[in-house]
Structure 1
Amino acid sequence: MFPLFNLSLQLNGFPMKEAKAELRKIVALSEKEHEIFVTNKKVEIVNFHLQNNPFYKDLAGMTTFTNWEDLPVLNKKNLQKPLLERLSKGYFPKNSYVNKTSGSGGTPFIFAKDKYCHALTWASNIYRFGWYGIDFNTSYQARFYGIPMDFMGNQKERFKDFLTNRFRFSIFDLSDEILEGFLNHFRTKKFDYINGYTSSIVLFAKFLQKKNIVLTAICPTLKVCMVTSEMLFEEDKILLEKQFGIPIVNEYGASELDLIAFQSRSVGTEGEWQINSETLFVEILDDNNQLVPNGIAGRIVITSLFNKAHPFIRYDIGDIGILDEKSTLQKPILKKLIGRTNDVAILASGKKSPGLTFYYVTKSIIEDDGNVKEFVIKQTKIDTFEIEYVSETELNLAQIKKIEEAITLYLEPNLKFSFLRKKSLERSNRGKLKQFKSML
């Protein structure tokens, strides 16, 4: 097959050969060499933006820096200014890669990367997907993603799918009739891998479970499934492995940065979430912007080491996570991704609980019999929550009582819940499912 993928990146001005060569060099560094590389890149990128980016210089309130911890921690609200006000000298939308974040954290904004930085992002993706025998030029992708509904946006995305050798399953309608259509494509197409939003892929696996079908029995070319953008729970991973018959890989990334963490396949580290330490520098900070020890939860703060067009220096991505105790600078391991900082429920007692606490509790009980396909939890008042769910049959009183007892045990008593059965759940315009939402 002609390498359309590589060619399309080259034609768009992304210097892939140089980026791949640089990534190979970084990956080959010894531990000591890597430490020097990171130190130098941090100094280089900060000084570049202090000298060439008025927006960052103003934000940092300095012209030169000596102490990393003195640098401000950026957040998405800092970046909600017109893009032209945030670009470095010599960079414009026309000579940069420009895109928009999904806004799943509630704060979307437009961002830019210089073309070399974006080429490195692709080099990083190619390198990590290659761990599982996936070649973007030749491997055929079954893509579970949203798609723009306007004509031009839709056609542009379809053309990109053609160039990148992928077939898109639009996830805005996931009724059984539509999933049956998905299944027919797997019967007739030689897909190599699945990639897309976790909740949609899990829903497809539940559909297969109901029909007692293992996907590799009808599509034997499938090698691996990569899920992204939403939490992957352990029970869901087990279900996916069983119904697809292939390894399930958990990916964590951000469009404005890069691929952040990807499950390793190396002997002795299989399944570990290896953080990208080649193009990013990741810190876990407390509420006072101080580093927390490995093994302790904190805010995930990331520096893009190569982006000269736009500063992402000590950028709070809005997620909470834990680094593994055995992490090193060269091989940081993400032990756990807990969720987004804005997905926190504030209870009547003053207690703060991550929205995922509700989700874990409810999920473990609701899914015993496979009746409930998916659900979301909304906090409407300090003591009141709505659980919206899609199911074959309505939840009975015994199930509801069990959920309420578990929530009292894990959280606190006297919380009020209402249960709303729906035909489908509301997704973002990109097809993401926000699993917990506080309306306070």
Structure 2
Amino acid sequence: MREAKAELDRIVRFSEGEHRDFIEGKKRDIAAFHLKNNGFYRNLNPSADFTSWESLPVLTKKSLQIPLQQRLSGGFSAKSIYVNKTSGSSGDPFVFAKDKYSHAMTWASNIYRFGWYGIDFNQSLQARFYGIPLDALGYKKERIKDWLAHRYRFPVFDLSDAVLEQFLGHFRTKKFDYINGYTSSIVLFAKFLKRRQIVLKDICPTLKVCMVTSEMLFDDDKTLLETQFGIPVVNEYGASELDLIAFQNPHVEWQVNAETLFVEILDDAGAVLPYGREGRIVISSLYNTAHPFLRYDIGDIGVLDEKSTLQKPVLKKLTGRTNDIAVLPSGKKSPGLTFYYVTKSIIEDDGNVKEFVITQTKTDAFEIDYVSDKALTPQQITGIEAAIAQYLEPGLHFNFNRKTVLERGSRGKLRQFRSLL
């Protein structure tokens, strides 16, 4: 960790020219390393030698769904690497590995960015809104890890008012420095505070900042969080197999990690798009020698801001996952979160609906599962259908299902939209 933190400190001090040379050198070195030492990656390439960055293949999660041992670089074993698995929120889970220095660079990156807001991982107490293993051994191990890492975990599988009241009790007695966790769970807690007319910082004055991750943060939800928590809200975008990808800086820019990663935006044919154009987010890990993550299509769609530079890329827009695109009867393709956003603007006006998710079952058919104090009225349902017809297209059919609780993934994530097509 000492070496990694020293190296990251050196990188962030580079001039623009030094940083350009650093990126080009790291790209060349990591590609050449895997072409020489990783049989799996070498077999994917038309040439065994590095010729140009653009000639390297684009990896997908599906292409990595073979046993980990077959994907490891020569000289690495299970004992000499960090091993974990993705959450599967994209529908394509897999086990991955990092060499230990690469893993240390990931943590150095986290420490650096959280430090922008006065958070010290060695001292600051985190209120953690995440899932947790429910088996006895897994639960105990995670609680021990939380204690060592200065975290207190709020499991997000049950977010009823009675449980949220218990959460609130911990904020009254513990000196939390920051909140970190899944967006949907933290938003639900903020809605609970709004109903109780409570500003969280009033009862927990040590709070400095809230970091949300893994799920979409809408502008109105960010306003809600800042109002009910009384602290800044920071949007985080990352992937466990990579690193923090983008992190909102104090100037409210979604600054892309250009120290341990190289981020490209590609079109459907694999061509690099200029800043300002929307396309597939493709990411390369510049340090991971144990496992190739080179030109890795993470499955998301986004835009790099026109003001981006190689040293300071800025993520302008994150549309959603490529497998969460709605294909409509007219042939139109629309990000599934468009449905979520339009519907959200209507059904949450009175605070009745706590959460909802949308699932596309046919080109013209959608299921909307929601949690609420009382069922939606026919007038509200008509209003939702009319708004979607106006913003997207008419002739779509919706089935509304009132639920006691929404199904979350094994780690507690809530997929706000998904297509079964």
Task: Name the TM-score class by shorter chain.
Answer: over 0.9
- Of 278, 282, 302, the residue aligned with 1:297 is 278
Displacement of 1:437 = 1.3
Among candidates 352, 367, 370, match of residue 333 of structure 2: 352
Q: CA deviation at 1:283?
A: 0.0
Look up the match of 1:57: 42
Secondary structure of the residue aligned to 2:414 is coil
Which of 261, 277, 295 is the equivalent residue of 1:314? 295
Of residues 326, 332, 335 in structure 1, which corresponds to 2:313? 332
Q: What secondary structure does 1:317 align onto? A: strand
Match of 2:159 among 174, 188, 196: 174
1:100 corresponds, among 76, 79, 85, to 85
> Which of the residues 409, 415, 421 maps onto 2:396?
415
* Aligned residue in 2 for 1:432: 413
Distance 1:92 1:79 in 2: 18
Query: Which residue, 377, 384, 407 being the options, matches 2:358?
Result: 377
The 1-side partners of 2:391 and 2:372 are apart by: 25
Shift of 1:61: 2.7
- Other-structure match for 1:12: none
CA RMSD after TM alignment:
0.7
Offset, 1:347: 1.1
SS in 2 for 1:389: strand
Q: 2: CA distance between counterparts of 1:39 and 1:439?
A: 40
C-alpha displacement of 1:117: 0.3
- Report the Cα distance in structure 2 between the residues aligned to 1:439 and 1:47, rounded to whole angstroms: 39
5+ residue gaps, structure 1 = 1-15
> 1:274 pairs with 255, 263, 282, which one?
255
* Greater mean alpha carbon deviation, residues 41-50 or residues 350-359: 350-359
Q: Does 1:390 align with 2:375?
A: no
1:258 match: 243
TM-score (norm: length of structure 2): 0.99
> Which deviates more, 131-140 or 347-356?
347-356
Match of 1:322, SS? strand
Which AA in structure 2 matches 1:116? Y
The aligned residue for residue 264 of structure 2 is: 283
Aligned to 2:30: 45
1:203-248 deviation digits (Å, cap 9, x = unpaired): 0000000000000111001000000000000000000000000000
Residue 383 of structure 1: how far off its partner (Å): 0.9
1:90 is the counterpart of 2:71: no
- Mean CA deviation greater in 119-128 or 287-296: 287-296
Task: Figure out how many residues of one structure are paired with residues of the other and give that number.
Answer: 421
| Whole-Å separation in 1 of the counterparts to 2:320 and 2:220 | 17
Over residues 90-132 of structure 1, what are the superposed CA-to-partner deviations in whole Å (9 max), with x where a residue is unaligned?
Answer: 1111100000000100000000000000000000000000000
Amino acid at match of 1:149: L
Report deviation, 1:180: 0.3
Shift of 1:66: 1.6
Moved more, 200-209 or 151-160: 151-160
How far, CA to CA, are the matches of 1:298 and 1:439 in structure 2? 22
Are positions 1:199 and 2:184 aligned together? yes
Distance 2:283 2:45 in 1: 16
- Which segments of structure 1 move beyond 3 Å, counting only runs of 4 or more? none
> Which sits farther off after the overlay, 44-53 or 289-298?
289-298
Identity of aligned residues (%): 71
User: What TM-score, normalized by structure 1, do the two folds share?
Assistant: 0.95
Q: Secondary structure at the match of 1:49?
A: helix
Does 1:249 find its partner at 2:256?
A: no
Q: Which moved more, 1:408-417 or 1:112-121?
A: 408-417
- Compute the displacement of 1:155 (Å): 1.4
Partner of 1:69: 54
Q: Distance in 2 between matches of 1:380 and 1:236?
A: 27
**Equivalent residue, structure 1, for 2:194:** 209
State whether structure 2 residue 113 is matched by structure 1 residue 148: no
SS of the counterpart of 2:140? helix
Is 2:18 the counterpart of 1:33? yes
Encode CA deviations 1:389-421: one digit per residue, 9 max, x unaligned: 011111111111111111111111111111111
Give the Cα–Cα distance (whole angstroms) in 2 for the partners of residues 366 and 284 of structure 1. 34
Specify the SS of the correspondent of 1:136: coil
